[in-house]
Chains A and B, each alone.
Chain A
Amino acid sequence: DSGVTQTPKHLITATGQRVTLRCSPRSGDLSVYWYQQSLDQGLQFLIQYYNGEERAKGNILERFSAQQFPDLHSELNLSSLELGDSALYFCASSVNVPDTQYFGPGTRLTVL
């Protein structure tokens, strides 16, 4: 158990819908990262927050957005979902940047 929690574990939805994925970092970690993992793309970095502020952006689509709240939990919002958005979404946290990252169990998103 890494200490990072993610909810929900599984999410099945339809194209065009919007979903919110939630992540609580390890106690004491200020930095949160979001990754997308699909079979053919490996781990794709989406976005990083540090103590509530966006710090780095990767290949995140405009339909996706995220935020980190004052209590340090983070949410990843995915809208206008497409079939290709089906993937595992991982959240990771670290104390600082660029520290060792501790990954949550992931949310498996299936878009039908």
Chain B
Amino acid sequence: GQQVMQIPQYQHVQEGEDFTTYCNSSTTLSNIQWYKQRPGGHPVFLIQLVKSGEVKKQKRLTFQFGEAKKNSSLHITATQTTDVGTYFCAGPHRGGSNYKLTFGKGTLLTVNP
């Protein structure tokens, strides 16, 4: 079946260091979405990328969608303690006439102040 793989599974950084998580799909995606889940919280939508090679920025976060629309990355510049949480990528996969959103297993980011 369709899979979305994320690496690394865990990342611990010192505050101020950069952080990157990578997402790879087994199939071409029409779009890719990123979510963040704070400890004890629920996943919250961050952004959606649609176009091949698209790059979007949200303050210190930079999101990229690969040219082949099968991979994506999230880069955080100069991490802060507020960045702590699990970052999930998700891509829609078609099953027959229906779509479902397949989530990667997430990257848990911890930040040492």
Contact = CB atoms under 8 A, between A and B. Distances in A.
Chain A: number of interface residues, binned into ranges: 20 to 34
Contact of B103 (A2, A45, A48): A45
Given A2-B42, A56-B98, A90-B43, A100 B103 contact: no
A16 to B, nearest CB: 29
A101 interface: yes
Given A48-B100, A100-B33, A43 B44 contact: no
Interface of B: 30-31, 33, 35, 41-45, 48, 88, 92, 95, 98-106
A45 B42 contact: no
Contacts of B45: 100-102
A10 interface: no
A55 B106 CA distance: 25
Given A98-B92, A100-B33, A100-B48, A43 B98 contact: no
A102 B42 CA distance: 9
Contact of A103 (B42, B104, B106): B42
Contacts of A48: 98, 100
A33 B4 CA distance: 18
Chain B interface, >50% SS class: strand
Contacts of B100: 45, 48, 56, 58, 98
11 contacts: A42-B88, A55-B98, A58-B100, A97-B99, A98-B92, A98-B99, A98-B101, A100-B48, A101-B101, A105-B41, A105-B42
A25 interface: no
A43 B106 contact: yes
A90 B41 CA distance: 11
Contact of A90 (B42, B95, B98, B99): B42
A100 B41 CA distance: 18
Nearest to A90: B42
